[in-house]
Amino acid sequence: MVFAPWPDTPPLRRVYLRAMVLQAAIGIYPHEHGVTQRVRIDISFGVDDGPGLDVGRDDLSRTVSYERVVLLVRRIVTGGHVRLVETLAERIAAGVLADRRIRVIRVAVEKLDVFDEIEAVGVEIERRQAGNAGQP
């Protein structure tokens, strides 16, 4: 996956989780209730990496743990039936943005087994910390 730069933001460090595949209780149709389906989730988020930060320091405290994000996503996905991929993406974005160090996030959620001739269907969203929309 190739990422374009975040528009209208100061320097950010991009942290990403690529192609996380989980079983999710998701869907609006009756045949989708009481079963799980494979979903693939891609997440990238921007953490401040600008002036005043000691970016060369090898210290976990200056970054965001991707392990924490993985555990959060697992908890959200297994938290009960969700009707829409959009809802699942919004819940993931809100959960990750609870860490105020994260300025912006992109979340893609894809259902993998909907149509035989299509690899995936889904949605991708981008969200920013409140007050940061279009603001550096």
Q: Catalytic amino acids? A: 111
Report the sign of the C-alpha dihedral through residues 47, 41, 71, 58, in that order.
negative
Distance CA 97, CA 45 (A): 9
Q: Kindly report the backbone phi and psi dihedral angles of residue 63, in degrees, each rounded to the nearest multiple of 5, phi listed first.
A: -135, 180
Closest CA to 69 of 108, 24, 17, 109: 17
- Residue 90 burial by CB count (10 A; 0-12/13-18/19+): exposed, middle or buried? middle
Closest CA to 47 of 14, 7, 16, 3: 14
